[in-house]
Structure 1
Amino acid sequence: MEITKKKPYQRFRYTEETLQEVLQMIRTNLITISEASRRYSIPKSTLSNKLTGKVPQIRKMGPDTVLSSEEESNLEKWILSKALLRFPMHSDEVKDSVQKVLKETERDNPFTDDRPGKKWLQLFLQRHPSITAKHRNHL
């Protein structure tokens, strides 16, 4: 009796860039939805839903971030500009600045006393790979 291994589940077999290129090809009538689905392994329903606007063009998994994308971008620029001036940010300084913003804007957030924790900082750094940790106590 032969035992076959199951293929590991892979949610998306295509990149975001490929999806955008394929959608543009369909919009300009270079390829049909069915042909694009077969050729690029993108489900027809995904292509159709993206083209009709039923789902957003850009996929984002998980909940929304606490800070807006503009706020996160400003925070990233601030951290990088301080690093260029040779004043690396300590992780507590970043958390303090986020806490200050959240207290001033009085918005709902999942943090205790409006202060983000280690997990938030870790995920923020993943979203902004241009920020790197040079030393253990610094970002």
Structure 2
Amino acid sequence: MPQYTEFEISQAIDAVSNGKSQREAAREYGIPLATLHHRLQGRQPRAAAFEDFQRLSASQEAKLASWVQVQADLGLAPTHQQLRDFAHRILIAMGDTQPLGKRWVNAFIRRNPSIKGLVQISRHPPDCNH
């Protein structure tokens, strides 16, 4: 995972626009020189570049992440399976009946870090043997 943010990339681009060399700006903001160079050439961030390949739109994912947050606030954090089922229902409503990939939930959580730790892997009844 990169140790820099989009804000830092933006600052480095501004620094280059104001006369600083790419090498100096990359070093100052902790960004790989190649990344800064590619951004100056117009390349998109990975997340934006691959957005068209995602099954749900960015707004649908934002609404789904919001639903997870509301459920967690109510003490009913969804399981991975419930999250997958809910997302699949959204796709079916759009006419897409293909199943989601087996890593979709993990990728969704990675794209929406605000819900990390809120989604349960599974629900097990309390252990009454202790």
TM-score interval for Structure 1 and Structure 2 normalised by the shorter chain: 0.5 to 0.7
**Cα distance in 1 between the residues matched to 2:112 and 2:119:** 15
Q: Is the Cα contact below 8 Å between 1:26 and 1:33 reproduced in 2? A: yes
**Cα distance in 1 between the residues matched to 2:31 and 2:84:** 42
Offset of residue 23 of structure 1? 0.5
Give the TM-score normalised by structure 2: 0.67
SS in 2 for 1:114: coil
Aligned identity (percent) is 22
Q: Which has the higher relative contact order, 1 or 2, with Cα contacts under 8 A spaced 6 or more apart?
A: 2
* Counterpart in the other structure of 1:7: none
* Counterpart in the other structure of 1:60: 47
Give the TM-score normalised by structure 1: 0.63
Offset of residue 22 of structure 1? 0.9
Q: Which has the greater radius of gyration?
A: 1
**Cα distance in 2 between the residues matched to 1:52 and 1:69:** 25
Offset of residue 91 of structure 1? 2.4
Q: Output the aligned Cα RMSD.
A: 3.2
Q: Is the Cα contact below 8 Å between 1:23 and 1:51 reproduced in 2? A: yes
Offset of residue 136 of structure 1? 4.5
Aligned residue runs from structure 1 range 1-139, under 5 A:
15-16=4-5, 17-27=7-17, 29-36=18-25, 42-43=32-33, 46-53=35-42, 55-56=43-44, 58-60=45-47, 63=50, 64-107=53-96, 113-131=97-115, 132-133=117-118, 136-138=121-123
Question: Unpaired runs of 5+ in structure 2?
Answer: 124-130
Q: How many residues align?
A: 118
Question: Unpaired runs of 5+ in structure 1?
Answer: 1-11, 108-112
